[in-house]
Amino acid sequence: MASDWFWETDSEHRFCYFSRRMEEVTKFDISALLGKKRDIIPNENLSDPKWIKHRDDLKNHRPFRNFEYEMRRPHDGTLLWIRIAGEPQFDESGRFTGYRGTGHDITQEKVAMQRLEESNAALAARNNELDQAKKLIEKTAYEDPLTNLFNRRAFERDMKQELSDDRRGLGLLHVDLDRFKWVNDTLGHPAGDHVLKVSAQRLKDTVGENGTVYRVGGDEFMVILRRNPTVDLSTCLGDTIVSAMAEPFHLVTHQVTVGASVGIVIAEAGEFDAGQLVNHADAALYEAKRSGRNESCLSTPKLQARIDDERRLSRDIPGALERREFVPFFQPQIDVVSGMVCGAEALVRWKHPERGLLQPIAFLRTAIELGRIDQIDRLILQTSTEVIDRFECRGIALPSLSINVSEARLADPNLCKEIESLWHGRRCQLAIELLETIYFDESSGVDQFSDSLRRLREMGVRIETDDFGSGRASITGLLRISPDRVKIDRTLIQKVVGSRKQRSLVKGIIDMCHALDIDCIAEGVETQADVDAIVELGCRKFQGFAFSAPLSEDDFERYLTGQKIAPQLMLKNNIAPHKGSFANGSH
C-alpha cells in the first residue's frame, strides 16, 4: 500500500528494521528508532488496558492486528496515529526471533472520526436539549402550573385513550369545591391558590393508585378511575373525598372550611363515549349540589332520566312563556269563624301541550336555574289580574289575592310600576308572598328589597311571608320585614294533632303574631282534626285541601258563587258556612 511501511523487531522486541516509506510518512528518523522498543515511543498512557494486552501478546509471541496508538512527530509536534499488525517469527528450531509487520498512518481517519464523534456528541446534546424542550412543552401543555396536576387537555387525551380499550370500563368523579368563590373573593387570590394546592394534594392522597386526578377548571377537578372500578369503590372514594375536603384549610391568618360536592359515574366497556360520561358526571354533581352540597352522588339511569326530562323542560320553557302556557290556579283561604272565603293564593300551573297539566314541582326548580322564574312570576301576575277583572265583570269580588314573588322578581326595579299599572283601581286587595329564602337570616338581602317593600305598602299592597317555621325563616328576619301576615308552614301544621311539641311550637308562632299585631294563616290543613286543633291554638284562617285543592279559573268561579265549603269542616260550635254568594260584590 502507498502509505504502509514494514518493520521488524528482534527477540527482545527492539526495532531492527524499517522500510524507507515509514520515514517519509511519519517524518521520524529511522536511525533514532532502531534499537528502541515500541512502548517507549508513544505519547500515551502505557497503563491503558490496550497497552497491557499488547505487551501480553508480545510476551506470549501471539500475532496481533489493528493495534492503534498515537505519537508526536519530532519535527513539528503534530499528532500522528498509527495502526500496526505483526506476526511472530521463529527459526528452524522453533526459537522466537522477533516480529515482522506493517504500519499504517491513520491520522486523517482518526481526525475525521474524532470530528464525527464531536459532531455526534454535539448532535446528542442538541437532541437532549430538544427532548428537554419537548418535555417542558408537554408539561406546559398537559400540566396545571399551580397544582402540578394534569390539566383539562391531559384529561381529554387520557379519556380518549382509556375509552379506546373496549375491554374494560372506567369510573369518573367530578369534584367541585363548594365555597371556593367566597374564599377567593373575600380573602384574596393567594388564599384561593393555597386552597387549590392543598385540595389537589388531598385529592391525590385520597385517590392514590386507584386513578388519576386532573384540574379541569378554576375549582373543578376530575378523577379517572381505571381497571373496571366497582360502584362500592367509586362511592367510597367519593365519600372519602367529601370528608377530606370538609377538613379546615389553614391560612396565614385564617382557618376556613370549603367543602366539596362529587358527581360519580361508572361505565361498562363501550357503554358511553367521553362526552356522555362527562355529562353524566356533571348531572350527578349537579344533583349533589342541589341536595345541599358537601356530599357525593352516583349517576343512575333514574337520575339521568330525570335530568334529561328537566333539560327537555328547560328547552320548552321559553316557548311556553311566549304562548302563555303558565296559568294561575287558585286555592281558597277560609275564615272559619265567619265561614267565608277571605282570599286566595294564586299558584302557577303549566298547561303543557304534550304532558298535560304540570305541578310546580315538575318545573319550578328548572325555571329558577334557567333564570326564567321572574318571567313566570310576571305572567302569573298579569293573568291573575285578567281573572280578577273577569270576576268583577260578573259581580264576583274576591277580598284578596296572594301572589308569590321570587327574589329575582322582587329585585326587579320595574316591579312596583308594573303592579301599580296592573292592579290600580281594583277592589281585590293584592298581597305579595315572600319566599322564606328572602328573609331567612340577617345576612340575606332584606335591606336591598326594603325600598321595594316600602313602595308596595304605600300602594296598598299587603306583604306576607311564606313557610314560616320551615327551619329557614328567622324571627329577626321577620321583624325586619314586619309583614302584614304570616303563613305557618305546612310541615308544622300537619304534625299538630300527633305531636305535643309541634303543637306548642305552632302555639308560640300564633301568640307571637298576635303580640306583633300580625295576621296569621295556617296552610296545608288536610283534615277536620287539623282545623279543630289549630283553631284551639288561636288561628282562624286556613288554606289547604281540607277546604279545596287549587282550582282553575272556571272551578274557582263555581266555588265562589256556590260557596262550596263542606259543613263538616267548619267549627264545632255550630257556626254554619255562609250560604250567600259573592255575586253583586257581596263578601
Q: Which residues are catalytic?
A: 219
Copy the grid coordinates of residue 287: 344533583
Residue 271 backbone zone (phi > 0: left; psi -120 to 50: alpha; other: beta): alpha
Q: Nearest 5°: CA angle at 155, between 149 and 157?
A: 125
Bridge partners for 521 per DSSP: 487
The candidate with the shortest Cα–Cα distance to 82, out of 70, 73, 94, 93, is: 70
Bridge partners for 64 per DSSP: 86
Q: What are phi and psi of 250, to 5 degrees?
A: -95, 110
Residue 86 backbone zone (phi > 0: left; psi -120 to 50: alpha; other: beta): beta
Estimate the crossing angle of helix 274-290 against helix 152-163, to 10 degrees.
120
Query: Which of the 8 DSSP states describes residue 494?
Result: T
Please, are residues 452 and 416 in contact by the beta-carbon 8 Å criterion? yes
Beta strands in 226-339 (DSSP E): 249-250, 255-256, 260-267, 296-298, 326-335
Report the C-alpha gap between 583 and 20 in whole angstroms. Answer: 144
**What are the helix and strand counts (H, E) for the chain?**
20, 21
Report the C-alpha gap between 560 and 342 in whole angstroms. Answer: 11
Cell 369545591, residue? 177
Cell 402550573, residue? 145
Length of the chain: 587
Which DSSP string corresponds to 202-221? HHHHHHGGGEEEEE-SSSEE
Please, are residues 379 and 565 in contact by the beta-carbon 8 Å criterion? no
Q: Nearest 5°: CA angle at 166, between 307 and 268?
A: 35
